[in-house]
Structure 1
Amino acid sequence: MRSTDPVHSATAVDGDAPITLAGPPPRTLGLRETFGLWASLGVSLLLPVAATFVVLADRPLWHTIGAIVVGAVIGSVLLGLGAAAGAREGVPAMVLLRGLLGRRTSFLPTGFNLVQCVGWAAFEILIIAEAAARALDAPRWPFALAAGAFATLMALRPLGVVRVLARYAVWAALAAIGYLFVQVLSEPLPPVTEGGATSFWTAADIVIALPISWFPLAADYTRHVRRGRTAFVGTASGYGLATVAMFSLGVIALAAYGRGGLDVIDAMLAVPLGLVAVLVLLVVEVDEAFANVYSTAVSAQNVVARLDRRVLALGVGVVATTLALAFDLAAYEPFLFLIGAVFVPLIGVFLIAYHLLPRGAWDVSDTARARPALLLPWAAGFVAYQLTLPTFFAGPGAAWTTWWTERQADLGIDPANGWSASLVSLAVAAVLTLVVTAPGVVRHRRGAAA
């Protein structure tokens, strides 16, 4: 149920997203806009590049494609459930967590989200700049500046950008993807002899991670969707289909061109007119950076509701672009994956508390009461994730991976267990949430019966 807190008392400005948390979100997005936004966000060069970690080596290609489909379905359904909650409550994602943890306790996941959004914004800018530099044989820094500036400007008018993505950008991306598919499928497709996945479920786990990595951002956009069902269908189908397409494109490109020693980007550039198709995808890729810049600003408003998101977005854009220009973000990537592992069990806790348990009004006000007991299943789910598949760090951070690997040995867990860390973490968090909340559910039902 939508909160009636004074936080929603102001009006939106210019028909776009409210400037502060005090403004109510205009409900102007339907199924077409929602599907188009999430399909566009799912079209990312990160996915085909990550395909090498999904490949089941020396197995028929359809085994890997099957893992991609299963992972995309699981991940996109979970993402859609979070999107639906955002549409029903009409608040951004981090404000939505007030109903789960309480206002002040929600600052904890908000802090994690701020770090990961800035990091992923910088990473997206870097990916765009690197791919453009390789495609055009030019220096990287002008493309980083252009991508950062464009993404920041997009974050100033987010709903207008969503409409443009739905009407134009997603179709340009689909045309480019379709062309690349036709070209790579015209080549022989022998089994891929090298791949990073050790089992069906470890392959699916990588695919699951991509849709649910957007869970802490989903409600920032779907709070503008008219109905929860529309938000669920548009988000899950849009991102799910794009995930299947992009991962499959990467795997097929590796099968077609990998024997020649080409990586995925080089393989796509090698096809006739591949440069044009890749450049189209690079332009569309900017929406990923835009989404992270905008969500950083909106997440910060959970702490201070009257901060101007436009000023915040400008600051975030400058920081992300500077990071992309000045630092080796490859060393930062494992830390971003670690933060993602932090959010996976929180998703399990939220989905149980919001969708399955009696909840009445979902309190997202400034007085939302703390529920510290729910920190337990969140923490337990994170531990289960690391015990299943420790986040890998090299160099100075290797001690983290070593410590968890030793704990696996202590408990007799095979490091090559082949399980999905995401599903194990979600299951542990979900079951413990039911256990922790069981007394309250019993009291609620007794009160209702009386």
Structure 2
Amino acid sequence: MSENHSGREESVSTIESATIQPIPVDQRHGRNRDMFTIWFGTNIMILSVVTGALSTTLFGQPAWSAALAIIVGNLFGAIFMALHSAQGPRLGVPQMVQTKGQFGSLGSILIVAVVVCMYLGFFISILVFGGESLASVIPFLNGKAGIAVLAAISVCAAIWGYTLIHAYARIMTWASGLVLLMAFIWAFIVHPVPAHFFSTGTATLAGFLSTFGACAVWQIAYAPYVSDYSRYLPAKTGSRPAFWMSYWGTSIGSILPMCLGAGVGLLFPGTNPVIALTQATAGISVVVVVVFSIGVAATNAMNLYCGTLCTITIAQTILPRFNPRGRERALIATGLCTLAVCVALTAGSDFAATYNNFLVLLLGSLVPWTAVNLVDYYLVRHGDYVVEDFYKRDGGRYGRVNWPAVSCYVIGVAVQLPFMIIGTEFIGPIAKMLGNTDISFIVGLAVVSPLYYFTATTIARRSNRSAVLVASAVEQC
């Protein structure tokens, strides 16, 4: 049970009726600490272990360099994630609905469509790695059956909605946290690390920045949906508590399992990270993998839930009279889940490399959006939006297409390409000059943030001057 500020209780057994509608004041509930548990509990899972393992396997970093890059990358990326989380209590709407305030009603469809692809990509990745994990410790279960089990749990939680997902995360905070501690003790203390552990790998700038970038995008990838899980908080909660609880919850919850992944990658070089984890925790691997896989289902429920809200946002933009509730959310969530399962069941054996390429593309498409959104919210409008206009066909005061924002987004994607590395398939010319080092997301942030701020404020000043001139002309008449 959770109690809202008006004294009414909500049960986790109740299916959420709201979808993308603004949350009324008398239906707000929850506490600041809910932001910590949902982001701590859902980050401790198989996929975060696999992401951490990229640092020592794919990027070849030694233990100290991998740990430093993981810590710094997560702390950096979490800033953007938490700034988005702080928007939820004030506006009370999903993040992608609020994006209409920057890009316009139709202009936002471009961004929302990219985000739907992101959710499906993460959903599929989690199904693949989670299914492999379950199959590695449960003899009668193969990878495809593991995928089906995780998908079923995820879709049920997504259908029940917000309150159940938060309750799930609170439970996983304690369960996953305890098991993570056991895994560290078992892998590195009960079984002493081999002599080659601290001498394996070579610290390189390219490897460090690649690890940093993978961890940063892990956090930035939450930006398009993080406020979906803070939008029910009472407005009096304020932005600052929501920011810090989200920041530390997601930072700590990601750094620890990623460091575990980097460690098992050094213990068993050349081994699939999931298999390496089971070997490193032999004796308690069933408990570790099963609990981490259950955590995967919680995270995937969030991906599916928010992917569904984004799909509804696109539909409502095209058909403003469309007012979906719980039943429509259930149907759309089931459809998206079915599509993801079909893709996951056909995934190849080289999925780890494919997943890393997905992270790079994801970072390239999300960085310009997060720069525009945060600059607009915090520096241009200072959180002052008319929520009702988000749901109008013509976008109200935000219009159908805000071309300056869309242009800044497209420019932001384009300027990153020369600095980008996508596996062996594409190495940007400047990235090659820098010794195969990918700094594309830094360039994207550095270009788009001031560009959008200058453009938006210049247009606002001109509009204000025009309004003043018109008012003066009317008075003279």
CA contact (8 A) 1:86 1:96 kept: no
Partner residue of 1:258 out of 251, 268, 287: 268
Q: Which amino acid aligns with 1:316?
A: L
Partner residue of 1:382 out of 413, 416, 421: 413
> 1:100 Cα deviation (Å)?
0.6
> 1:389 Cα deviation (Å)?
1.6
Asked if residue 347 in structure 1 is aligned to residue 370 in structure 2, the reply is yes
CA contact (8 A) 1:389 1:415 kept: no
Q: Cα distance 1:295–1:342, how it changes in 2: closer, same or farther (>3 A)?
A: same
CA distance in 1, matches of 2:42, 2:253: 8
Query: Could you tell me which residue of structure 1 aligns to residue 45 of structure 2?
Result: 44
> 1:245 Cα deviation (Å)?
0.5
Q: Equivalent residue of 1:106, what SS?
A: helix
Q: How does 1:148-297 map to 2 (within 5 A)?
A: 148-186=151-189, 187-188=192-193, 189-193=197-201, 198-226=206-234, 227=237, 228-255=239-266, 257-258=267-268, 262-270=271-279, 271=281, 272-297=283-308
Q: Which amino acid aligns with 2:170?
A: R
Query: Could you tell me which residue of structure 1 aligns to residue 4 of structure 2?
Result: none
Partner residue of 2:442 out of 423, 431, 436: 423
CA distance in 1, matches of 2:184, 2:359: 30
Query: Could you tell me which residue of structure 2 aligns to residue 320 of structure 1?
Result: 340
> 1:353 Cα deviation (Å)?
1.1
Larger Rg over CA atoms:
2
Q: Equivalent residue of 2:42, what SS?
A: helix
Structure 1 unaligned residues grouped into runs of 5+: 1-11
Query: Could you tell me which residue of structure 2 aligns to residue 29 of structure 1?
Result: 30
Superposed CA offset, 1:357-385 (max 9, x none):
24573243422323111122212221232
> 1:208 Cα deviation (Å)?
0.4
> 1:58 Cα deviation (Å)?
7.9
CA contact (8 A) 1:120 1:336 kept: no
Superposed CA offset, 1:31-73 (max 9, x none):
2222111112211312222234324978763332222111111
Superposed CA offset, 1:93-135 (max 9, x none):
2101011111111111111122222232122112211111122
CA distance in 1, matches of 2:358, 2:207: 24
Query: Could you tell me which residue of structure 1 aligns to residue 475 of structure 2?
Result: none
CA contact (8 A) 2:62 2:202 kept: no
CA contact (8 A) 1:144 1:325 kept: yes
Structural RMSD (CA)? 2.9
Query: Could you tell me which residue of structure 1 aligns to residue 361 of structure 2?
Result: 338
CA distance in 2, matches of 1:244, 1:161: 25
CA contact (8 A) 1:16 1:157 kept: yes
Structure 2 unaligned residues grouped into runs of 5+: 1-9, 317-322, 473-477
CA contact (8 A) 2:61 2:207 kept: no
> 1:337 Cα deviation (Å)?
4.2
CA distance in 2, matches of 1:198, 1:439: 38
Q: Equivalent residue of 1:303, what SS?
A: helix
Superposed CA offset, 1:142-163 (max 9, x none):
2211111110000012223233
Q: Cα distance 1:28–1:435, how it changes in 2: closer, same or farther (>3 A)?
A: same
CA distance in 2, matches of 1:29, 1:191: 48
Q: Cα distance 1:195–1:436, how it changes in 2: closer, same or farther (>3 A)?
A: same
CA distance in 2, matches of 1:42, 1:313: 22
> 1:84 Cα deviation (Å)?
1.0
CA distance in 1, matches of 2:242, 2:458: 32
CA distance in 1, matches of 2:210, 2:271: 24
Query: Could you tell me which residue of structure 2 aligns to residue 7 of structure 1?
Result: none
Give the TM-score of the pair, scaled to structure 2: 0.80
Deviation >6 Å, runs of 4+: 12-15, 56-59, 194-197, 444-448
**Percent identical across equivalent pairs?**
20
CA distance in 2, matches of 1:293, 1:23: 20
Superposed CA offset, 1:232-269 (max 9, x none):
122211111111101111112233x235x544323322
CA contact (8 A) 2:214 2:360 kept: no
Q: Which amino acid aligns with 2:299?
A: E
CA contact (8 A) 2:128 2:347 kept: no
Aligned residues: 424
Give the TM-score of the pair, scaled to structure 1: 0.85
CA distance in 1, matches of 2:205, 2:154: 33
CA distance in 2, matches of 1:60, 1:292: 32
CA distance in 2, matches of 1:172, 1:166: 10
CA contact (8 A) 1:30 1:230 kept: no
Further displaced range: 102-111 or 163-172? 163-172
> 1:336 Cα deviation (Å)?
6.2
Q: Equivalent residue of 1:361, what SS?
A: coil
